[in-house]
């Protein structure tokens, strides 16, 4: 049986370092992982780190010079058995909910027929904002799945809702969705 292909979307969150643990846990469960990161995510974690851990090229540029004639966001979307966005910022949640495709990750998600699992991570004020909550509700109503966030220590040092869900909970949801 072929390995299931997970596209891991990484966005610009302090929780970006958790992508390393997510990749390791998914690989240990037998999944193939390809990372698509936003340009701003590179300010929190390097593509090289994610490439070494995943064993695959990391994608981030919407208009990179092609090595072949595949249109990357389409070929990535078609290869995916599931797209996991972890950490997911309010920005990417809003883009997807609004159909905005201005980067490689949002374009890949909107081109995909695969299931999408979103693991939010952001400040409590951003997570609880009515617009963010409306976007999450809209996406849930469209069939997108969410795991977390949980209450925990945030980048500000305060404790509140917005902390990325536990890696094992994220991986468990991936496994459940791919049964």
Buried b (16+ CB within 10 A) or exposed e, 80-108: bbbbbbbbbbbbbbbbbbeeebebbbbbb
As a whole number of angstroms, the distance between CA 157 and CA 108 comes to 34
Q: Give me the domains of the chain, ranges plus CATH numbers.
A: 5-177 (3.40.50.1950)
Q: Which two tokens stand for residue 42?
A: 């590179």
Tell whether the model's pLDDT for residue 2 goes beyond 90. Answer: no
Kindly indicate the confidence band of residue 152, based on its pLDDT and cuts at 50, 70 and 90.
Answer: very high
Q: Give the pLDDT score at 64.
A: 63
pLDDT tens sequence across 6-36: 999 999 999 999 999 999 999 999 999 999 9
**pTM for the structure as a whole:** 0.91
Token pair, residue 22, equals: 């997510």
Question: What is the structure's pLDDT at 62?
Answer: 67
Measuring CA to CA, how many Å separate 42 from each of 36, 37, 61? 11, 7, 11
- Give CA angle at 85 (82, 91), nearest 5°: 140
Is pLDDT at 71 greater than 70 in this prediction? Answer: no
């Amino acid at each position: 049986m072929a390995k299931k292909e997970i596209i891991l979307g990484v966005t610009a969150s302090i929780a970006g370092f958790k992508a390393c643990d997510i990749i390791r846990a998914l690989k240990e469960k037998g999944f193939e992982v390809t990372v698509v990161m936003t340009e701003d995510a590179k300010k929190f974690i390097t593509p090289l780190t994610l490439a070494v851990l995943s064993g695959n090229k990391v994608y981030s540029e919407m208009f990179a010079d092609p090595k072949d004639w595949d249109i990357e966001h389409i070929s990535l979307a078609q290869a995916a058995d599931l797209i996991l966005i972890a950490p997911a910022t309010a920005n990417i949640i809003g883009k997807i909910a609004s159909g905005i495709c201005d980067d490689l990750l949002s374009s890949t998600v909107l081109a995909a027929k695969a299931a999408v699992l979103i693991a939010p991570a952001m400040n409590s004020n951003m997570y609880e904002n009515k617009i963010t909550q409306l976007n999450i509700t809209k996406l849930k109503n469209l069939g997108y799945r969410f795991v977390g966030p949980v209450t925990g220590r945030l980048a500000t040092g305060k404790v509140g809702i917005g902390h990325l869900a536990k890696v094992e909970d994220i991986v468990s949801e991936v496994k459940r969705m791919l049964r």
